[in-house]
Amino acid sequence: MLSSACSESRICLLDNWTSPMDFLLLGLGNVPELQSPLFFLTFMIYSVTMAGNILIIVLVVAVQHLHTPMYFFLVNLSSLETCYSSTILPRLLASFLTGDGTISAHGCITQFYFFGSFVTSECYLLAAMSYDRYLAICQPLLYASFMTWKVCIQMAAGSWLMGFLLSAVVIHLLSQLKFCGPKAIDHFFCDLIPLLELSCSETRVVMLVTFMLSLLDLVFPFLFMLASYVCIIAAILRIPSRVSRQKAFSTCSSHLTVITVFYGTLIIVYMMSRSVSLRQLNKVLSFFYTILTPLVNSLIYSLRNREVREALSKGLRKAVVCIQRS
């Protein structure tokens, strides 16, 4: 019975996700003096992230010589990171500004669905990008025939589709749970573990299915990328010329850095215990991989990539000339 599942100190607030209910996101901390600095910091991060990723998309679309598979995947990566930053940051900014951390049940499950979908899609997309780099460096003579535009579109579309389908399975199971008060989510966005901590239903099935799906959307892509880069590094080390080795490594260094940052923080966050003493640290690390990682990725690809820098400088010069003529 639901009444026996909920402790005496709690009131059953929600029979299912169709009932009207608000959750309270506790955010990054209950320190009023920090709300304004956190708002401005987060606003700056969001602005730079959006500007950087949109700039990459515009440059790749506008500059003809960037119309290659590598930059096609980069456009998809920038689009994903723009989307998943936008599932969290506008709501977080509003809570800093108003002090109101409430979110409806429907809003919470929608936020978690889209966030999970975009993150899962990014895992598959990063794997597709590693395959592209593997072919370019280890099988250069076969690259053009293997990495056709049809294959690129199928791999990118498959990444997006897998993300939305796998997340839908978890959302379906989550929507069957019953939730009891207190309704405070000790996080700054609706994530799976903090939500399950509020459930007064049996959550073992959800956890088991989530674990199995995480093998598909996190572990397998990671192992694929690891194997790809073992082959890539081995191929680079066999190149006799030092200059050629540096040039070959420069084509995949940005992608390797993005994988390290993304998976490093992701693994730490979800492997770390959510004990009371570590919850604040968990939220800080979650802040890093959900908010700072998209910013870092856009900076990595815009500042460390020579072709993107050259395209940007040419675009700026043309803009200055047009302004001067007008």
Judge whether 4 lies within some domain: no
| Element housing 291 (H / E) | none
Sheet holding 184-185, edge to edge: 102-104, 22-25, 184-185
Q: What pLDDT was estimated at residue 156? A: 96
Q: What pLDDT was estimated at residue 274? A: 61
Q: What pLDDT was estimated at residue 286? A: 82
Q: What pLDDT was estimated at residue 323? A: 73
Mean pLDDT by 10 residues, the chain (326 residues): 42 46 79 82 92 89 88 93 91 88 88 93 94 92 92 96 94 86 82 85 88 88 94 90 83 85 80 66 80 83 74 74 72
What pLDDT, in 10s, does the model give residues 116-158?
999 999 999 999 999 999 999 999 899 999 999 999 999 999 9
Q: What pLDDT was estimated at residue 8? A: 38
CA–CA distances in Å: residue 274 to residues 10, 23, 40, 113, 269: 21, 19, 28, 21, 9
Judge whether 39 lies within some domain: yes
For residues 21 and 25, give the distance between their C-alpha atoms in angstroms, rounded to a whole number. Answer: 13
Judge whether 2 lies within some domain: no
What pLDDT, in 10s, does the model give residues 51-67?
989 988 988 888 888 89
Judge whether 5 lies within some domain: no
* Predicted TM-score of the model (pTM): 0.87
Backbone angles phi, psi at 99, to 5 degrees: 80, 5
CATH code assigned at 131: 1.20.1070.10
Judge whether 269 lies within some domain: yes
Judge whether 10 lies within some domain: no
Q: In sequence order, what are the beta bridge partners of 23?
A: 103
3-state secondary structure 245-288: HHHHHHHHHHHHHHHHHHHHHHHHHHHCCCCHHHHHHHHHHHHH
Q: How many domains does the chain have?
A: 1
> Domain of 123?
28-324
Judge whether 217 lies within some domain: yes
Judge whether 13 lies within some domain: no
CA–CA distances in Å: residue 150 to residues 57, 69, 320: 20, 10, 37
The C-alpha R_g of the chain, in whole angstroms, comes to: 22
